[in-house]
Amino acid sequence: MSAGTIAIVVVVVLIGWGIMIYNRLVRLRIRAEEAWRDVDTQLKRRYDLIPNLVETVKGYAAHEKGVFEEVTKARAAAMGASSPKEIAQAEAGLKGALKSLFAVVENYPQLKANENFQQLQQTLEEVEDQIQRARMYYNAVVRDLNTNIGIFPQSLIANMFHFQPREFYTLTGEEERKAPRVRF
């Protein structure tokens, strides 16, 4: 084989290798975007449940206005957050507000027996579990993407095409790390 043929084969192999790495990075980026949309969808499902939950509790404990306002403000803050870090911080506030709401429920046995409240409670628990699973999947995909962006030789292609590491969706405190249980 001539030197020219060897050079052409080497160039073709390098281009093929670069295309494979680029395609892998694109697939990982798309998976990360889809995983984040799944987290966002589950968070929105919970945000949609909260007003119904508050209204149900209001029917039994109308004088607990401060708790209802706290939950409403925390929900608005969580819905307005955009980055995983901001959302994690807002979620910590929302979980604290929901704990206050459920503490109010403890004082009203007839509310705990209400069928609508029980159904909302069960749905909220299911959504919390789905949020936890979606968050774990998102973080696994982000770990894979960030690893591929950071290791050599993939980092060469990643830098060339401006792939950026993604932010993990980490919870702020030990309490938030556990999937909340809302049983009474």
pLDDT at 184 over 50: no
Any domain includes 130: yes
The band of 64, judged by pLDDT with boundaries at 50, 70 and 90, is confident
Domain extent for 68: 28-177
Residue 183 lies in a domain: no
Res. 63 pLDDT band, cuts 50 70 90 = confident
- Give yes or no for residue 183 having a pLDDT over 60: no
The overall average pLDDT reported for the chain is: 90
DSSP state of 165: P
CB 167, CB 141: distance < 8 Å: no
Least confident of 12-16, 64-68, 130-134: 64-68
Domain count along the chain: 1
**CATH code of the domain covering residue 144:** 1.20.1440.20
Average pLDDT over residues 153-169: 95
Collapsing DSSP to helix, strand or coil, 158 comes out as helix
Residue 133 pLDDT level (bands cut at 50, 70, 90): very high
Is 93 a member of any domain? yes
Q: Using 50, 70 and 90 to split pLDDT, how confident is the model at 181?
A: low
What average pLDDT score do residues 77-85 get? Answer: 91
Please tell me what DSSP assigns to residue 166: P
Reported pTM: 0.83
Residue that has been written with the tokens 């999947």 in this structure:
137
Q: Quote the pLDDT of residue 159.
A: 96
Specify if 156 maps to a domain.
yes
